[in-house]
Amino acid sequence: MDKFYHSVRLDPDLCKGCINCIKRCPTEAIRVRNGKAQINSKFCIDCGECIRVCPHHAKYAIYDRPDAIKQYEYTVALPAPSLYSQFNNLDDVNIVLNALLLMGFDDVFEVSAAAELVSEATRTYITTHRDQLPFISTACPSVVRLIRVRFPNLISHMLPLNPPVEVAAMLAVSQAMKKTGLPREKIGIFFISPCPSKVTYVKSPLGNEFSQVDRVLAIKDIYPQLLSRMKAVGKDYPEIGTSGKIGISWGRSGGESSGLLSENYLAADGIENVIRVLEDLEDQKFTNLEFIELNACNGGCVGGILTVENPYVAETKLKRLRRYMPVARTHMSQEAEELIPWTTGVQYEPVFRLGNTMMESFTRLNQVERLCKKLPGLDCGSCGAPTCKALAEDIVRGQAQETDCVYYLRENLHRLSEEVSTLADDLAAGDRGGQETLRILKEYIHRISDEMSLLDGQEDDGDKIASQSTDTSSSGTSGSEASGAEASGRTGAVRNTVHQQNTPIEEKEDS
C-alpha cells in the first residue's frame, strides 16, 4: 500500500503555472517548476485547498463514477451525514434513503448510525484513558495525515478509533453477507462522500490495514440523480433511517464533540485554524480539555469540496433537519464494539527533514538561514516556491537554484552591466590593450544574455532543473517523481494501491 497515496491531482494541460495554489497550500507541498505546478506527495495531505483556489481548474479529485454500481451483485450505499444537508426543505432523512434505493442500491447503511456508535465508544474511551487526555479526533483523514507528518508529539493523543464511515462499512458488509449469502467480492460498499480526503482514506487508511469501503462517490454526482428520485419516493415510504441527532450532527464542525455530552472540548475547522490549534496544543497552551475535534474544511464535512451547497447554509439545514429527532437511535452491540478500535498504529513520517542524517539536516538548516538573509524576503512566488524560505529549503535539498529567484538574477544582471560599462570606459580611454578588453567585453555580454535567457525562458531551463531535482533529491521520492508516475499512466498508478478484494476507484476528472 502506498503510504502517500493521493486523491488530489494536477492536470498539467490546464495548469498555467500561476502562484495561487503554492500560496494557499497549508503544507507548502506545491511548487511551480517548468511552468507547471507539481505536488510533493510526501507533504500533501489531500485537504483539497488547491482544488478550491485554482482559477484554471487544473487541480482535481479522483473518485468513482456512479455507474460502478453495475459491477456488483449487491450494493450498499453509505450516505455521509453531510449529504442530508444539501437539500432544500428536507424534513425527513428517510426520503433521501429511499431515493438511494430507487437509484439502484440494494440497501443503505447510514454513516450517521455508525457515528453514534463511535460517539459512544469515544465516551467510554475518554473515561477509561483519562491519564492520556486530551484526545484528538481522527475522523478527518487530512487532519490525521497532517499530524502524521508534522506533529509527532501529538500522535499519541490521536483517538485510536475507526472513523464512522469505516465502522458503517464493516457493519454493512457483515449484514449484507448474512442477508444474501454472497461472497465478499460480489458485494459493493459505496460511500457517498463530501470530500476526496475520504478517497485517500479508503485507498490508504491510517489506523487500519485496509478499508471495507469499495467505492467512493461524490455527493455532487449523486445530488442531481437523487433530486428526481426523491420526488418519486412520494408520501408513503418505509422508515429505514436508524440515526438521531448525535449521528446527523457529525456532518458539521462541533457535531462530533456534541456527541460526547461534555463541555470540555474544542472544535476547530478550516485547515489553517486546525494547524494553529495543533501548534498551540504542542506548546501545551490548553489545559483541562478532554477532546479536540478538528475538520480540515470550513464548517466541517458540509464544507467538503465534493458538496454542492454553501457550507453555512448546509449547516443551518442540518440543524433544522435534526430538530425533532431523538438524541440517538443506534446503540452499541458486541459486534460493533470489536470493530471500532484501530488495529494498527500511526507512525511519524518526518518528511520535512532537510537531510538524511541529523548532521546533514543541521548543515542544511544552517545554509537555509544564510540563504534567507540573501534572498529578498518578498515571498513573491515567482521562483515557484511559496516563500523565500521555502525556496531556500528547496535549494539546500538540491531541488532549486539561487538563480530561480528573479531578484537575485536582476542583481546579477546589474552587476554584470556595470562591469561592462567600466570596461567600455577603459577601452574608450585607451588604458588597456584593445583586443584583450574586447574579448572580456564580449564574454560579459555573453553572460548577460545567458542570464537574460534564464529570465525569459524559464521553461527551457526549467527542464534541466526539474530532472536534476529528481536525481539529487535526498529522499528519492520527491514531488516530481510522483507526478512522473502520474504522467506515465495515471490509472496504472491507482490500480497498484487497491487492496485485494476490490477493483479500483475509477478515475474521474473533477475541477
Partner 1 sequence: MDDAIHLTYPISPDDFTRAGEASSDVKRKLKQMGVNPEAIRKVAIAMYEGEINMVIHAKGGEIRVDITPEKIIMVLDDVGPGIPNVELAMQAGYSTAPDEVRSLGFGAGMGLPNMKKYTDSMDIETTIGVGTKITMVVNI
H-state helical runs in 234-309: 245-249, 255-258, 271-282
| Interface with partner 1 (CB under 8 A), residue from 150, 198, 229, 245 | 150
Question: For residue 22, what is its C-alpha cell?
Answer: 503554492
| Interface with partner 1 (CB under 8 A), residue from 35, 152, 398, 484 | 152
| Interface with partner 1 (CB under 8 A), residue from 335, 352, 453, 496 | 352
DSSP characters for 70-127?
GG-SEEEEEE-GGGGGGSTT---HHHHHHHHHHTT-SEE--HHHHHHHHHHHHHHHHH
CB of 206 to partner 1, least distance (A): 18
| Interface with partner 1 (CB under 8 A), residue from 89, 284, 488, 500 | 284
Pick the stretch among 8-16, 44-52, 332-340, 366-374 that binds partner 1 (CB under 8 A): 366-374
Q: Residue 318's closest CA among 251, 259, 261, 254?
A: 251
CB of 280 to partner 1, least distance (A): 7
| Interface with partner 1 (CB under 8 A), residue from 52, 353, 447, 508 | 353
Residue 35 touching partner 1 (CB under 8 A): no
Instruction: Specify the residue, 343 or 475, whose C-beta has the smaller distance to partner 1.
Output: 475
Quick one: the chain helix, strand, coil %, rounded to 5?
50, 10, 40
- Residue 510 contacts residue 60 (beta carbons within 8 Å): yes
Pick the stretch among 72-80, 124-132, 360-368, 469-477 that binds partner 1 (CB under 8 A): 360-368
Residue 369 touching partner 1 (CB under 8 A): yes
d(CA 147, CA 251): 22
Give whole-number Cα distances, 252 to 82, 139, 140, 296, in Å. 7, 12, 12, 11
Instruction: Specify the residue, 96 or 147, whose C-beta has the smaller distance to partner 1.
Output: 147
- Residue 483 contacts residue 4 (beta carbons within 8 Å): no
Name residues contacting partner 1, limited to 375-434 (CB under 8 A): 393
Phi, psi of 403 (to 5 degrees): -70, -5
Parallel/antiparallel/unpaired status of strands 8-10 and 59-61: antiparallel
- Residue 201 contacts residue 49 (beta carbons within 8 Å): no
Instruction: Specify the residue, 149 or 195, whose C-beta has the smaller distance to partner 1.
Output: 149
CB of 352 to partner 1, least distance (A): 5
Residue 372 touching partner 1 (CB under 8 A): no
- Residue 353 contacts residue 150 (beta carbons within 8 Å): no
Helix axes 358-374, 388-396, angle to 10 degrees: 140
CB of 468 to partner 1, least distance (A): 22
| Interface with partner 1 (CB under 8 A), residue from 92, 106, 282, 426 | 282
Instruction: Specify the residue, 286 or 312, whose C-beta has the smaller distance to partner 1.
Output: 286
Tell me how many residues contact partner 1 (CB under 8 A).
Answer: 28
Residue 355 touching partner 1 (CB under 8 A): yes
Question: Which residues are at the interface with partner 1 (CB under 8 A)?
Answer: 150, 152-153, 279-280, 282-285, 287, 348, 350, 352-355, 357-359, 361-366, 368-369, 393
